[in-house]
Amino acid sequence: MAGIMKVKAKAKGEVTNVKLMAKHIMESGQRKDKKTGELIPAMFLQEISVQHGGKTVFTANLGTAVSKNPYLAFSFAGGAKGEELTLNWVENTGKTGSETAAIK
């Protein structure tokens, strides 16, 4: 299955800068269906975590006010070109995913 994570991770000196975007609608549960007038059930990413070399370097707990296609940028000490990041995500529906991205 194709992943939802787009990642730009760059090692620069002692630090790796990570920008990631998760392709996701982030349905808030507060919008009404234009045709039926009924509330569209919430469906949003609730947690995104990033691991490098077996260590968690970043975790985000997200609410429904995070914009569609959640964007996160952070940096951590360590990481080198060619090494791998693992990205795990959890949707409020219980759906989960795990993807990898290379540091450039």
Partner 1 sequence: GMLPMQGFAAKKQPAELYEVPNFGNVRLLHITDCHAQLLPIYFREPNVNLGIGSALGKAPHLVGDKLLNHFGIQANSLEAHAFTCLNYQSAAGKYGKVGGFAHIKTLVNRLRQSYGQANTLLLDGGDTWQGSGTSYKTRGMDMVEATNDLGVDIMTGHWEFTYHQEEILKNIKAFNGEFLAQNVFITEDALFEGADEYIHDEDSGRVFKPYTIKEMGGARVAVIGQCFPRTKIANPARFIPDWTFDIYDENMQELVDEIRATENVGAVVVLSHNGMDVDLEMARRVSGIDVILGGHTHDGMPVPSIVKNNGGKTLVCNVGSNGKFVGVMDLDVRGGKVQDFRYRLLPVFSELLPADPQMATLIDNIRAPHMDWLSEELAVADELMFRRGNFNGTFDQVICDALCNVNDAQISLSPGFRWGTTVLKGQMVTMEHVLDQTCLTYPETYVREMKGEELKLILEDVADNLFNPDPYLQSGGDMVRVGGFDYVCDPNRPIGQRVSEMTLDNGTKIEASKTYKVSGWATVGSRSEGDDIWDVVATHLRDRKVASIDKLNTPKLKNVAGNPGIVDYS
Partner 2 sequence: LAMAAWNQDAFGSDNQANAMKALLGAEPTASADVTLKAPSIAENGAVVPVTVKTTAANVESISLFVEGNPTPLVAEFSVPAGTKAEVSTRIRMGKTSNITAVVKADGQLLSASQETKVTIGGCGG
Where along the sequence are the contacts to partner 2 (CB under 8 A)? 15, 28, 30, 46-47, 49, 55-68, 70-78, 90
Tokens representing 1? 């299955």
Q: Please state, in angstroms and rounded to a whole number, the distance separating the CA atoms of residues 95 and 38.
A: 24
User: In the complex, what is the shortest distance from the CB of residue 46 to partner 2, in angstroms, rounded to a whole number?
Assistant: 5
Which partner from the list partner 2, partner 1, none does 32 bind, CB cut-off 5 to 8 Å by kind?
A: none
User: In the complex, what is the shortest distance from the CB of residue 93 to partner 1, in angstroms, rounded to a whole number?
Assistant: 24
Among candidates 15, 21, 28, which has minimal Cα distance to 87?
Answer: 21
